[in-house]
Structure 1
């Protein structure tokens, strides 16, 4: 699994190996959401277009950020 931080919004974005869609989570809404077709995250990830706001982070960095938001589950699930 790969993780990214959206430097514009602060969201955490992940790409699961077995899924085409990306997922993201927001500080004030701690539920993973799938991206919609033609979302800016998908355009940036797959086509290199968009806001260039996604920066690679490690699993540990993503988990630490989410824990600071109050998200206590292991993000690998």
Structure 2
């Protein structure tokens, strides 16, 4: 989440992780929601960058959307591996 400061990245990441855990019906805590959202945003931005979509300088909403997509991907991958 390059376009956001640390505090904003934690807030947006936590919200994105929480929404993703509700969508995917995952039972995760606050800390894991934040981690999922932030890592999810990094992963989603990298994947979307391959297709020419750039959310790194976007708004909180764009970063939240990227975090949501990435967090859902991470939850899905964890389930696929388990």
Structure with the bigger percentage of strand: 1
Q: TM-score if structure 1 supplies the norm length?
A: 0.27
Greater relative contact order (Cα < 8 A, sep 6+): 2
